[in-house]
Amino acid sequence: MDFNQAKTKLRARLAPITSNADVKQNAKQYGFADLLIVPYVEITKTDTGVIRADVTQEILDEWCVSERSVFNAAMDNIENDVSIFPLGSLFEDIPTEFMPPIYVVTNKERINGAIQAIFAKQTLKNLFPEGYALLPSSKHEMIAVPLIYDVVSVDQLRDLVVSVNASDAMLERDFLSNEVYTFGA
């Protein structure tokens, strides 16, 4: 498969900066101190995820293209795939009027969607004019919460993230970060 054939199948995902050397080699750092943007070729989708191939230096050499070209194509392909919805919509038994304004940020497939937080900044700024925090729920999504310092501190949010990540509910392959990212106020 050459670059022209692969170009429309290029995507990007977020990965922890602690990822192995193969992942780090062609990843970019962007706006999140402990996360990397990793371009990949989406080979196919399955019921349980995506079969993909991360773009390596070997692939770049074979395609005779720059990292920037691959990175730009991957980001262009996912830019309009943002999905933001109230967390309460996931819980049928809880009336949404009792839920605080908490949103899930992901992509339409909810697979490798945490990267969509990059494209959702303006929408989140409109939802949370006083500022917001992004909690890395997994590589598939981030949770956006309002910054209300007199109710909950960033340290308390970080403790929550660390606690959830340490629980049996978090699969190691889905782990993204123990950090909390704040924007605005």
Encode burial over 112-135: b for 16+ CB neighbours within 10 A, e otherwise: bbbbbbbbbeeebeeebeeebbbb
What pLDDT does 91 receive? 65
For residues 74 and 53, what is the distance between their CA atoms, to the nearest angstrom? 13
For residues 36 and 57, what is the distance between their CA atoms, to the nearest angstrom? 16
Contact predicate 41/141, CB 8 Å: no
What pLDDT does 95 receive? 63
**Which regions of the chain are under pLDDT 50?**
none
Boundaries of every domain in the chain: 3-78, 82-183
Longest Cα–Cα distance in the chain: 55
| CA angle in degrees (0–180, nearest 5) for 156-161-166 | 125
Whole-model pTM: value is 0.87
